Structure 1
């Protein structure tokens, strides 16, 4: 009799423990993307049903349409293709461009899509995708200003650049080479272009593709490019170091769009 009672008690304890374990598993919080113990975020992204993307508004790659309030652009369409591949929705988080890398490293986003150049400096702290577009830095001036026709004409000029952008590094490199220029940094390209229009600066360094599209769509700004790009750059998507599964999906989408012609469609839609 005592033996039967002991068995029943043991079975009851096992059943209770199993229920507790099942309850803990069911109610356990989903691991955070920023948790350093998580080796790969892709399964967590799929489980959460959303891809969190950090960005900074850069016309025509990612910007808010003034008429509709819709967030649109080349990179927005590219991001949607990546989200569709993973099978999730997108949550956009907007930051100042200078804060993007920090936000990614803090786990506030799964990736950065913000018409960002692939550079050695960035690749030291994040992993970057294969390039999805070629471009480069270019000189922007006011129409009618004949004092600047190349980089050789910059002595004595004040140059507008984007804070912590490639434009700022190019200006600093020119100073290191002995160019007698002054540099003013702005949080956004738009602020720099407005400073150019108001004669706060003499020229602006901006991405060639961005500026060519800007000039086409905003002719009233009376700005023009000085020749072509004076650097060769490639746009890439940034993820946290070691997120190989997520990066593999990103690269697969980039290459598929390039191979099936959809990348050309995006180029015609947003950049021509």
Structure 2
């Protein structure tokens, strides 16, 4: 009786192992069929690069990162957060990459690695439509000026204040808030990226604001950030960007969003 029982137990164990192996094989196949996800973070208040429309992330950067993801066999999963939270999200592995009109600079390069540059930017000054006497950063000394937190526009504001302590600097969480303050007369000027400022004064700020002077910090370039040392992801982004440019898709995206 014990012998028969032992044989039955052994048979059941073998059947169980076969079911387990079969199940594992099915899961592996399912995983292979699943689309790889590229976790992207952005600050969606930087039109025309990233903003929300009809509850969808749209703009130059959004089209670009989706095209890069597609070229590399990924699906882009985009999340909005404050600009200052983007790099910490990479460092804590909550995201694979960040794209948000982020300028490549030496300070940021200490914390993240950047892709090859994908956009030549530059700064410009915006003022109220009737403002006279402001044409350059030197004219902003002693004035009330503003920029967006974490941007080179904010850095430029702070540099002017260093040159003239009588300058008042206001830093806003989004560039839209800075422009609203300008329209209300709470500040004299906004320093911000040229393409974003041009978009604003051509749409929301039309008839209320204007661009003055020439573009400065013209060597400023945008890059896609990844966690420091994540060479695999950096290679994915750079390879995808190269494919998007070679296919002509990049030029198509540029023509769609950048109007200067």
TM-score normalised according to structure 2 size: 0.83
Distance 1:132 1:192, change over 3 A: same
Q: Distance in 1 between matches of 2:165 and 2:215?
A: 19
Matches within 5 A, 1:29-68: 49-57=36-44, 58-65=46-53, 68=54
1:135 shift after superposition: 0.8
1:102 shift after superposition: 1.0
8 Å CA contact 1:112–1:238 kept in 2: the answer is yes
8 Å CA contact 1:209–1:271 kept in 2: the answer is yes
Partner of 1:79: 65
Matches within 5 A, 1:142-153: 142-153=128-139
Alpha-carbon RMSD: 3.2
1:94 shift after superposition: 0.7
Q: Distance in 2 between matches of 1:23 and 1:174?
A: 68
Q: Distance in 2 between matches of 1:221 and 1:129?
A: 38
1:154 shift after superposition: 1.2
Structure 2: stretches of 5+ with no match in the other structure: 1-6
Deviations 1:39-85 (A, max 9, x none): xxxxx9x96632111010111111112xx333211011101112212
Q: Distance in 2 between matches of 1:99 and 1:226?
A: 32
Structure 1: stretches of 5+ with no match in the other structure: 1-7, 29-43
8 Å CA contact 2:142–2:164 kept in 1: the answer is no
Partner of 1:41: none
Partner of 2:92: 106
Q: Distance in 1 between matches of 2:24 and 2:247?
A: 44
Partner of 1:200: 186
Which residue of the other structure, out of 132, 135, 141, is the alignment partner of 2:127? Answer: 141
Partner of 1:269: 256
1:256 shift after superposition: 3.1
Partner of 1:237: 224
1:157 shift after superposition: 0.5
1:255 shift after superposition: 2.6
Which sits farther off after the overlay, 247-256 or 74-83?
247-256
Distance 1:24 1:184, change over 3 A: farther
Distance 1:20 1:102, change over 3 A: farther
Q: Distance in 2 between matches of 1:213 and 1:138?
A: 12
8 Å CA contact 2:104–2:223 kept in 1: the answer is yes
The 3-state SS of whatever aligns with 2:170 is: strand
Distance 1:85 1:257, change over 3 A: closer
TM-score normalised according to structure 1 size: 0.80
1:179 shift after superposition: 5.7
